């Protein structure tokens, strides 16, 4: 892998991740951009002990431009984009409209491929491996930032999810705090350890495999299952069999096996609702341990993948109970979801 950092016209960092040691990445951003101005503020909700990012500058961000004006495609003659080069493998750059910035974290965009019409599921295993390398490198780099406590690498796909750019891409958030979701997990893990002396993640994986009804796929390095209390209609959690706190700690065997497992899951997601249906909207993200939490070694790195589509043509909306009280109501039994995800396996 070859890594080449450059600076865009407004001073933001961009990094090319290339599979080989090809030519120089010396294309210059020729756009007349002014320095990025952000208005990020993080406020503490004392009643819920949550953090809320206030980022009013994001109101003006690019929203669903036509394909010939996509800012994530390579630059071409007469059309300059966020990527100065005429081609690329994988690219990461600082978000022009970040939710977090400066002393309050960092937000980056990850372009998975230059092909505007593709999706992550269309990538080869070698290319997906390069994306994993980029995610791991960004986690390692952001771990050095004094303003970053936790890194979340994720992808939103589909207008139903709320994406504002159709090009296949994801994001990396470097939060200046441990997120509420992660703190909940760590509290549960700590409580379980105090009561039993065991690790909750390890026992949960063993129980799921012994039960078998919610298993979606298994291998020597990874296991994927629908959780017993799934929040979403179709939700899969993917774990390495050897518990590690973050992407940096994965061994070579797990790295080598990941692309095949993950691509298979994404391709199954696109077949859940039958032929002729539009691509399944989803959120996919890596849950990693906060960098400085005393119990980080008890945390288990894992990827969570879910869709808000509950059946063909119908979405799962977060209405009164979910939005108002954080109590999810799932219309699809997890065992049924797992059975369907096994049925649509690649033949």
DSSP 210-252: HH-TTEEEE-SSEEEE--TT-SSSEEEEEEESS--SSGGG--H
pLDDT at 326: 95
Asked about 169 being catalytic, the answer comes back as yes
Looking at the chain, the whole-number percentage of residues with pLDDT higher than 90 is 94
Which CATH code for domain 180-343?
3.30.428.10
Task: Kindly tell me if the per-residue pLDDT of 23 is higher than 80.
Answer: no
- Which of the pair, 35 or 111, is modelled with greater confidence? 111
- Average pLDDT of 86-110? 96
At residue 24, the pLDDT reads 83
261 labeled binding residue: no
pLDDT tens, residue by residue, 178-207:
999 999 999 999 999 999 999 999 999 999
Neighbours of 243 (CB within 10 A): 17
Do 2-175 and 180-343 show the same overall fold? Answer: yes
H-type helices in 117-170, by residue range?
Answer: 125-142
Q: What pTM was estimated for this model as a whole?
A: 0.97
What's the CA gap between 109 and 181, in Å, rounded?
22
Q: pLDDT band at residue 310, thresholds of 50, 70 and 90? A: very high
Burial environment of residue 157 by CB neighbours within 10 A (0 to 12, 13 to 18, 19 or more): buried
Q: At 347, is the pLDDT very low, low, confident or very high (cuts 50, 70, 90)?
A: low
Query: Which residue bears the tokens 């929040």?
Result: 231
pLDDT tens-place string over residues 24-48: 899 999 999 988 888 999 999 999 9
Q: Per the CATH hierarchy, to which homologous superfamily does domain 2-175 belong?
A: HIT-like (3.30.428.10)
**What percent of the chain stands above pLDDT 70?**
99
73 is in an annotated binding site: yes
Distance from chain centroid for Cα 142 = 15
> What is the maximum alpha-carbon separation in the chain?
65
Q: pLDDT at position 20, please?
A: 87
pLDDT score at 62: 85
Residue from 44, 57, 127, 169 carrying the catalytic annotation: 169
The answer to whether 116 is annotated as binding is yes
* pLDDT mean over 59-78: 91
**Is 287 assigned a ligand-binding role in the annotation?**
no
Residue spans per domain, the chain = 2-175, 180-343
pLDDT in tens, 200-250: 999 999 999 999 999 999 999 999 999 999 999 999 999 999 999 999 999
């Amino acid at each position: 892998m070859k890594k080449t950092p450059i600076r865009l016209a407004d001073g933001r960092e961009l990094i090319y991740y290339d599979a080989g040691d090809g030519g120089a990445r010396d294309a210059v951003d020729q756009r007349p951009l002014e320095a990025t101005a952000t208005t990020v503020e993080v406020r503490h909700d004392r009643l819920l002990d949550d953090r809320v990012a206030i980022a009013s500058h994001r109101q003006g961000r690019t929203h669903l431009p036509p394909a010939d004006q996509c800012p994530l495609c390579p630059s071409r003659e007469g059309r300059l984009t966020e990527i100065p080069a005429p081609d690329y493998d994988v690219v990461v750059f600082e978000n022009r409209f970040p939710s977090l910035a400066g002393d309050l974290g960092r937000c980056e965009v990850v372009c998975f491929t230059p092909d505007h019409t593709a999706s992550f599921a269309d990538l080869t295993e070698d290319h997906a491996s390069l994306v994993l390398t980029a995610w791991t490198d960004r986690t390692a780099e952001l771990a050095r930032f004094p303003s970053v406590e936790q890194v979340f690498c994720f992808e939103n796909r589909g207008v139903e999810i709320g994406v504002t750019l159709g090009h296949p891409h994801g994001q990396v958030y470097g939060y200046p705090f441990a997120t509420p979701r992660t703190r909940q997990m760590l509290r549960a893990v700590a409580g379980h350890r105090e009561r039993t002396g065991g690790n909750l993640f390890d026992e949960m994986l063993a129980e799921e495999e012994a039960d078998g009804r919610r298993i979606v796929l298994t291998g020597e390095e990874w296991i994927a299952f629908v959780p017993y209390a799934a929040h979403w209609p179709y939700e899969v959690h993917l774990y390495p069999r050897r518990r590690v706190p973050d992407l940096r700690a994965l061994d070579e065997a797990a790295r080598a096996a990941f692309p095949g497992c993950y691509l298979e899951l994404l391709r199954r997601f696109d077949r859940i609702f039958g032929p002729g249906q539009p691509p399944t909207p989803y959120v996919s993200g890596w849950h990693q341990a906060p960098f400085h939490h005393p119990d980080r070694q008890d945390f288990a790195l894992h990827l969570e993948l879910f869709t808000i589509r509950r059946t063909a043509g119908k979405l799962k909306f977060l209405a009164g109970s979910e939005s108002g009280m954080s109590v999810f109501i799932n219309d699809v039994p997890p065992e049924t979801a797992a059975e369907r995800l096994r049925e649509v396996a690649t033949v």
